[in-house]
Structure 1
Amino acid sequence: MLIKAKHLKGYRLNSTDGTIGSAREFYFDDQYWSIRYLVARTAGWLSGRQVLLSPYSVIGIDPIDETVSLSLTKQQIENSPSIDDDEPVSRQFEESYYNYYGYPPYWGGPYIWGSYPYLERDSAKWSGWDMSQAPWNRHLRSTQEVTGYHILASDGEIGHVEDFVIDEETWAIRYLVVATTDFWPGKKILVSPQWVESINWETREVVIDLSRERIKNAPAYVDDAVITRDYESGLYGYYDRDGYWVPDLVRA
């Protein structure tokens, strides 16, 4: 299932023994464009610290009740490694966090989730991980921070990032929702992170390797519409690109 970050934001977070708060925002890495943590708003509980939840702890999302079910107890979350609200997520914190929960490190292999192209939920396989293995230098970004970034085609600006479309199965960001209001009023489009050429974090710009004219004539995205595989196939086909569901691309 594909779900927008703005829809998930505000969903109630249910531990195994009670509600801990709601989803506030999300941290993703800038190589695989995968959600690494849900940031919880705890409404006074554990005030003053960021409460981070790995997708490994998510066992279900209910869009009807707007809830996210977790496999953790409130005590486990309370005793997890602490990080202040105004501190960045450091590598040291992540190593401590993953050691605490015993999760396999996502940076410990060549795939989106380390040694796997998916979330390996069989805990019997969570042994023997080497935390020192770091084949790529991960950087975490906030969906809240990147919202509003300018999207530049190869020949000029086309709009700005309005939202993110997340794959519930892998927690990969499949699309950026781009609002083109200042250029093509009323039109929104989806841009795959696979088409991103570069990102300038200082100027808040995302460059994609497509022309403005090509993008202008791309299939439009209707806000809140269900993104079907037929729509995705048409979108990727329009750009003459292979879909992310093609076996050779499951690592990304």
Structure 2
Amino acid sequence: MTPSPLLYVDDNIYHLYPEYRIVGFYLYDVYDEMVARIQGLLVEPETYKPRYLVMTIGGFLFTDGKMVLFPKKHCEGHELGKVRTSWRRDSIQQSPAIDDPNSVTLEREQVILGYYDLEPYWDVTETNLNP
């Protein structure tokens, strides 16, 4: 298992660009229904660009919910504490779970990205710009 190079951030630290300071906001689905509170972000350590929102979905009283990663790529902007997505709440609730945002592996990321029909960001090949 290969550890993910991403860094877990659970506060709106100054390293994040203002448009990425969404920890504590709520994710809303395509029908304007609240999905969950954003607990943190998994970011690239060099640039602090968010790759995933970290949320706990479900749970009630003394039961823990399911911790999930939601790709930042599927977010459509934010305002007044709300982050919006075109995904439905039930689809996000059925996404693969993680145990700990500090110990996500690249293999687990592949499963999550596959669920959301996204290509792994580490497979992006750079084009040769030399003539």
Q: What is the 5 A alignment of 1:63-74?
A: none
C-alpha separation in 2, matches of 1:162 and 1:231: 19
Question: Residue by residue, what CA displacement relative to the aligned partner does 1:192-232 show, whole Å, maximum 9, x if unpaired?
Answer: 211102211xx210011211121111001213451111111
Letter in 2 for 1:150: Y
Q: Quick check: 2:38–2:54 contact (8 Å CA) kept in 1?
A: yes
CA distance in 1, matches of 2:82, 2:36: 10
Matched, 1:240 2:110: no
**Alignment partners' CA distance in 2, 1:177 and 1:210:** 16
Distance 1:26 1:142, change over 3 A: farther
1:10-159 equivalent positions in 2, closer than 5 A: 25-29=13-17, 140-141=18-19, 143=21, 146-155=22-31, 156-159=33-36
Query: Which is bigger in relative contact order (C-alpha 8 A, separation at least 6)?
Result: 2
1:57-114 deviations in Å (ceiling 9; x for gaps): xxxxxxxxxxxxxxxxxxxxxxxxxxxxxxxxxxxxxxxxxxxxxxxxxxxxxxxxxx
**What is the distance in 2 between the residues matched to 1:182 and 1:151?**
17
**Aligned equivalent of 1:188, options 54, 60, 67:** 67
Residue identity opposite 2:88 in structure 1: S
Task: Check conservation: 1:4, 1:164, Cα contact below 8 A.
Answer: yes
Offset of 1:27 from its aligned partner?
4.1
Residue 8 of structure 2: aligned partner: 4
Unaligned runs of 5+ in 2: 127-131
Evaluate the alpha carbon distance shift between residue 248 and residue 209 of structure 1 in structure 2; reply closer, same or farther with a 3 A threshold: farther
Residue 76 of structure 2 aligns to which amino acid in structure 1? E
For 2:67 and 2:109, how far apart are their aligned partners in 1? Answer: 15
CA RMSD of aligned residues (A): 2.7
> TM-score by structure 1 length?
0.42
**Matching residue within 37, 44, 54 for 1:177:** 54
Cross-structure match for 1:208: 85
Opposite residue 245 of structure 1, the aligned amino acid is W
Is the Cα–Cα contact under 8 Å of residues 15 and 48 in structure 2 kept in the other structure?
no
Tell me the CA shift for residue 151 of structure 1: 0.5
Aligned residues: 119
Residue segments in structure 1 that go unaligned for 5+ positions in a row: 10-23, 30-139
Between the aligned partners of 2:15 and 2:46, the Cα distance in structure 1 is 17
Give the structure 2 partner of residue 61 of structure 1.
Answer: none
SS for the counterpart of 2:119 is coil
Decide whether the 8 Å contact of 2:28 with 2:34 is kept in 1. yes
Structure with higher Rg: it is 1
Question: Measured at CA, do residues 154 and 26 of structure 1 come closer, stay the same or move farther in structure 2, by a change above 3 Å?
Answer: same
